[in-house]
Amino acid sequence: MSWDRIFDVALYAYPREMRDRVGTEMRDTALELSAGSRRRLISESFSLISGGLRARGGAPAPASKREMVADCCARAVTVWSLVTFALLLGWERLNYTPGHKIIGVIAEGLPATGLLALAAGLSLVGYRRLAGLAGIASIGFILAGALSPGSFLLWHSSSAYHLRLAASYAVPTACYLVMVLAPAARRRSTRHLAWLLVVGLLGGISASPYPPVRLFPVVGLSNVLLLSVAIAGTYSLAVNVWRSIGFAVALIAFGIMSWTTGSLPVANLFDYLHAALTTLAPVALIATAAARLVSARRGLPG
Amino acid sequence: MEFRPPSYYALAALIDGPLHGYAIIKRAAELSDGDVRLSTGTLYAALDRAMGEGLVVAGEPYVERGRNRRDYELTPTGRKALQGEAAALARAAETVSLRLRAAGGGAAA
């Protein structure tokens, strides 16, 4: 592979806008700077990658606070709907998995599952207002099912429980409302639908009786998914802090659900993991993201 | 506004007139007696931020000897910011030099 090509690949670390604007110029500068020095070629490649990641990390916020909030909400609720969709699928297949500790005791139902998938899919493609409507409808189905007289949760019939159940959906509901009322613009792309396929498969196989996937019911599909969200949020700190905050808000939503629906306090090792992921991880992510934003806004880099 | 050495010298390279990226890196190395060796990533991050703050403007892209280039130029605001930073650095250097002399540590370079 030629160094032109290597630099072109390294430039993918930059946000698309900057790559389109000065990418060829940067590549040619790097080539000229490192002419005749293999060592400099290598260091320039790393410089482009690290510079690109920094540019993404300090990428300018959306134009206004309103857009910033809308974008974070959309990212958060997209992650939330994907994870919840996977868990509902597992629920449909197995009736009970440890993963359901995070959504507490909710009523199963195909409409809720289907609408959540629709909300996630529309949001991933970029139709955020429609996604918000589908998401609100899905939560409506979930709550209506959980509180209906036919629900097996009748033994949880106290009004305090109903309030806690409603509170546990406050964050996703608020985020969906923001998507409906003030959707952040997003370039449309069907490519991102692959995420729906991935989590759908995870949810679908989580109840499988076959050994390789029996790990999920043991560890808890929720822990597998939440750990993935926490890792993605941590990685995003270096790439796009706003995305990282979105992941953190999704984790907070699950944390509120866990604490309000009574699946916590913890009982075993995996519950401790669950509590850490939904309580400590988002706090750490948001604190780090805020620190990065403050440092990115101070002075010139380098 | 805070300038770190790479950004400071990158902007200082533009005092005598517009330069393209590669020339800025070479000029910054000359001005700093080789202390500052800007990499491409650092330079363009600094230029991007400087443009965002109105300190530098970019010209139209062009091709020179097969290389894609664009000249960057200090704005009056950028020149003023650089003057302010240079004055602050001079004051800081003077303060430390005076203290060193007063403490009998010898003359500062």
pLDDT exceeds cutoff 50 at A106 = no
CA-wise closest residue to A108 among A124, A95, A123, A125: A95
Q: Which residue of B has its CA nearest to A11?
A: B41
Average pLDDT of the residues of chain B: 88
- The reply to whether A298 touches chain B by the CB within 8 Å rule is yes
Reported confidence tier of residue A217, pLDDT bands at 50, 70, 90: low
- Enumerate residues 15 to 74 of chain B having a beta carbon within 8 A of any beta carbon in chain A: 20-22, 25, 38-46, 48-50, 52, 61, 67-70
Reported confidence tier of residue A59, pLDDT bands at 50, 70, 90: low
Question: Which pLDDT score, from 0 to 100, does residue B28 have?
Answer: 93
In tens, the pLDDT along A237-252 reads 777 778 888 899 988 8
- Mean pLDDT of the A24-48 span: 88
Question: Which pLDDT score, from 0 to 100, does residue B72 have?
Answer: 95
Q: Where are the alpha helices (DSSP H) in B2-105?
A: 5-12, 21-31, 40-52, 76-102
On chain B, the residues whose CB falls within 8 A of the CB of A301 are: 4, 7, 42, 45-46, 49
- Between A222 and B75, the higher pLDDT residue: B75
Measure the CA–CA gap between B43 and A48, rounded to whole angstroms: 10
| Whether A47 and B42 lie within 8 Å, measured CB to CB | yes
Q: Tell me which residue in B21, B22, B49 faces A301 most closely, judged by beta carbons.
A: B49
- The reply to whether B9 touches chain A by the CB within 8 Å rule is no
Question: Which pLDDT score, from 0 to 100, does residue A58 have?
Answer: 61
CA-wise closest residue to A176 among A88, A250, A77: A77
pLDDT exceeds cutoff 50 at A104 = no
Reported confidence tier of residue A302, pLDDT bands at 50, 70, 90: very low
Question: Which pLDDT score, from 0 to 100, does residue A36 have?
Answer: 77
pTM of the shown model: 0.59
Q: Supply the DSSP symbol for B53.
A: T
Reported confidence tier of residue A105, pLDDT bands at 50, 70, 90: very low
* CA A57 remoteness from chain centre: 17
Measure the CA–CA gap between A178 and A74, rounded to whole angstroms: 8
Per-residue pLDDT of chain B (109 residues), as tens digits, is: 567 888 899 999 999 999 999 999 999 999 999 888 899 999 998 898 889 889 999 999 899 888 899 999 999 999 999 999 999 889 999 999 999 888 875 554 4
Question: Which pLDDT score, from 0 to 100, does residue A141 have?
Answer: 83
Q: What is the ipTM of this complex?
A: 0.85
Q: Supply the DSSP symbol for B16.
A: T
